[in-house]
């Protein structure tokens, strides 16, 4: 019983010592959110979003069009500008 109790105590100490960072959900410090980037990309290129990745100040949004073509749309995280790749 004591080894189990000690193990739980050590696990609890590690969990309490882990730093927690609060996320800023309004997007003001990081520019736009992934959801906003997806929306902007889909306005210009309708279809199913396959992936969204952020590289620096740019989101790359992969979209599968109705005719089966995969397009990668770049959306600036700082503004509401987008471009097709």
**CATH at residue 82:** 3.10.450
Inside any domain, residue 81: yes
Percent of the chain with pLDDT over 90: 32
Q: Residue 53 — very low, low, confident or very high, per pLDDT cuts 50/70/90? A: very high
Domain range enclosing 46: 31-85
SS3 state of residue 39:
helix
pLDDT at 3 over 90: no
Q: What is the mean pLDDT of the chain?
A: 77
> For the chain, first and last CA: distance in Å?
61
Inside any domain, residue 7: no
For the entire predicted model, the pTM comes to: 0.58
Structurally, how many domains does the chain consist of?
1
Inside any domain, residue 16: no
Please write the tens of the pLDDT for every residue from 20-32: 544 444 444 457 8
Short-list 59, 33, 63, CA closest to 46: 63
């Amino acid at each position: 019983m004591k080894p189990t109790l000690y193990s739980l105590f050590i696990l609890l100490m590690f969990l309490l010592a882990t730093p927690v960072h609060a996320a800023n959900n309004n997007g003001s410090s990081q520019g736009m959110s992934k959801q906003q980037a997806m929306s902007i990309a889909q306005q210009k290129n309708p279809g199913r979003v396959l992936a969204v990745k952020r590289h620096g100040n740019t989101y790359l949004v992969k979209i599968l069009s109705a005719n089966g073509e995969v397009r990668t749309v770049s959306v600036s995280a700082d503004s509401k500008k987008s471009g097709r790749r």
